[in-house]
Amino acid sequence: MGRHGTIAGRKAAQDSKRAAMFTKYGRAITVAAKAGGDPAYNATLRVAIEKAKGISMPNDSITRAIKKGTGELEGETYEELSFEGYGAGGVAVIVDALTDNKNRTTSAVRSTFDKFGGNLGTPGCVSYMFSRKGIILIEKTDSVDEDALMEAALEAGADDMITNDDSFEIQTDPAAYTDVHGALIEAGYEILESDIEYVPSMENAPTEEHDIKKLAKMIDILEDNDDVQKVYTNCSIDLSEVDY
């Protein structure tokens, strides 16, 4: 199954949280647009827009988010935060957030960890168990030739490509991520999902069923928080399929 779960599972999760995802992607676009509102000259913004379009975010919403970032429209100032700690069963957890209220976000994240048997730690307490990598997922279909895709990815600067049950996972150095992403789009590939992520170098999983359920619930609540952009774990179990 892998870290990302199945494509069907991810799409179902996206559909159930679409409104929340629009908020998160809008914030990411606004922050990216501070470095320039033209995606032709701002690779980070271009990728953020493509990701937003991938979940059918309306063009008007994308345009408003860009204008907030460039100052053409009044908007909030977002601060990037990162939290590290352990969930139930000793699973390492990293939470990335974009917030206009640091105290509110910190309090919400801490209380969620506490409520579900986790504990929030200090910066660096679990990040040493992860590597930062650009991850680009492309759906495995009859129209996608594996060898041709790998060749295109490697020529653009990718480090590796992993073949999953229903997708191809292209891994890059973070510095090469936007170049590889852009090259694959230009080559006509439809990107299912992409981001610079924390990829675990060592995995762990709770041994008790009640801990697995607490961990899955904690991750879901964190991901439902509008301030939280992404949650990473080193759990070897696909938590999206856990029924709690």
- 76-81: average pLDDT: 92
For the residues 228-241, what does the mean pLDDT come to?
92
Tokens of 195: 């981001």
Q: Could you please state the CATH topology (level 3) that the domain comprising 7-70 is classified under.
A: Arc Repressor Mutant, subunit A (1.10.10)
Q: Which residues neighbour 16 within 8 Å (Cβ) at sequence distance 6 or greater?
A: none
Whole-angstrom Cα distance, residue 179 to residue 235? Answer: 30
Instruction: Output the CA–CA distances (angstroms, integers) from residue 135 to 4, 96, 217, in the order listed.
Output: 11, 16, 25
Is the CA virtual torsion 29, 34, 39, 41 positive or negative? negative
Residue 153 has pLDDT above 70, yes or no: yes
Residue-wise pLDDT for 8-32, tens only, equals 665 555 555 677 889 999 999 999 9
d(CA 160, CA 199): 14
Rounded to whole angstroms, the Cα distance separating 49 from 232 reads 22
pLDDT at residue 8, as a whole number: 60
The CA–CA distances, whole Å, from 187 to 38, 151, 152, 155 equal 22, 11, 8, 12
